[in-house]
Amino acid sequence: MKICVAGAYGAFGMKHLDALAEIEGVEVTSIMGPNKEKIEALAAKRGIGHAGTTLEECLARKDIDAVILSTPTQMHSEQAIACMDAGKHVMIEIPMADSLEDSRAIVAKQEETGLVAMAGQVRRFNPSHQWIHNKIEAGELKVQQMDVQTYFFRRTNTNAKGEPRTWTDHLLWHHACHTVDLFQYQTGGQAVAAFGLQGPYHPDLGIALDMVIGLKAANGAICTLSLSFNNDGPLGTYFRYICDKGTYIARYDDLFDGNENQIDLRDVAVSNNGIELIDREFISAIQEKRTPNSSVADVLSAMETLDRIDKTMS
């Protein structure tokens, strides 16, 4: 399997390069980034044969079977469609788009081409959330409430590495997308009720830096999600699952019970790295000619819910 990673020297592009290096039968044959000096230096360091500054240059190559897009959100729809038009399978880092219209366009192109198109909903693959999902599927747990905090200190355009970037992140269409999709995945269907409240817009960034979202599932489970770019403290997203049989706290790839006792996740998956696990699913789905978990069609319902929430906020 020959892979191109677009946006390779960004925070998550690097995570995908590290993850792909752990998977047998995979070769990164091309990487893309807009800065010629940086992308060529990364290719030389990693021993990658081709480095390009445009996606079009990479897509024209015959030694690429699939593309992982770790590019700015605003480019995702156009680039994902271009990948499929070029006959390449595509995995789109979260979110697959920043509007329902663009999300639907991606799904339509996947249906037209029949290629594997996957959204990067890594929470489905983190061993912590997989452990919960397995218990739910086995009838051993039922989620009653999810209480989620997504907190950063980000009043400038910087990425997860603390480096400046040219595009603006978004609490709803990016960070809330993780939780909305996960809540629907863990409760078995699209939320029947959804609303959002947002704080004032930042004068320079033009986005709200604080947000609260509420969700309700058909089975009665509820979710409260608090998001902030104003939090001066520990950064990241923490999930509290309040269930009929126990409480669990998920912090990325780690899981604890309600009393902070860590749960052994070594038997959940072949790796404890969620990025590696989502990349493995993408590659396996291509090889096995099947629809992947977190396909763009599957994730579309989360984008529909985000659109509903967006319309409730002023």
Domains of the chain, start order: 2-121+275-295 (3.40.50.720), 123-269+301-312 (3.30.360.10)
pLDDT tens for residues 207-224?
Answer: 899 999 999 999 999 999
Percent of the chain clearing pLDDT 90 (strictly above): 90
Confidence category of residue 204, pLDDT binned at 50, 70, 90: confident
Average pLDDT over the chain, rounded to whole? 95
Confidence category of residue 167, pLDDT binned at 50, 70, 90: low
pLDDT score at 314: 65
pLDDT tens for residues 53-81?
Answer: 999 999 999 999 999 999 999 999 999 99
Q: How is residue 200 written in tokens?
A: 């004032």
Q: Residue 162: phi, psi to the nearest 5?
A: 80, 15
pLDDT tens for residues 109-140?
Answer: 999 999 999 999 999 999 999 999 999 999 99
Q: How is residue 311 written in tokens?
A: 């319309």
Res. 236: pLDDT tops 70 = yes
Q: How many beta carbons lie within 10 A of that of residue 266, not counting itself?
A: 7
Angle at 282 between CA 276 and CA 287, to 5 degrees: 120
Range of weakest confidence among 77-86, 158-167, 173-182: 158-167
Q: Which stretches does DSSP call E strand in the chain?
A: 2-6, 27-32, 50-52, 66-69, 89-93, 117-120, 143-151, 193-198, 210-216, 222-228, 236-243, 246-251, 254-257
Percent of the chain clearing pLDDT 70 (strictly above): 96
CA dihedral angle for residue 295, residue 91, residue 301, residue 193, rounded to 10 degrees: 130
Res. 170: pLDDT tops 90 = no
pLDDT tens for residues 14-52?
Answer: 999 999 999 999 999 999 999 999 999 999 999 999 999
Mean pLDDT of 226-251: 95
**CB under 8 Å to 196, separation ≥6 — which residues?**
172, 176, 211, 212, 213, 214, 309, 310, 312, 313
Q: How is residue 110 written in tokens?
A: 């996947």
Res. 234: pLDDT tops 90 = no
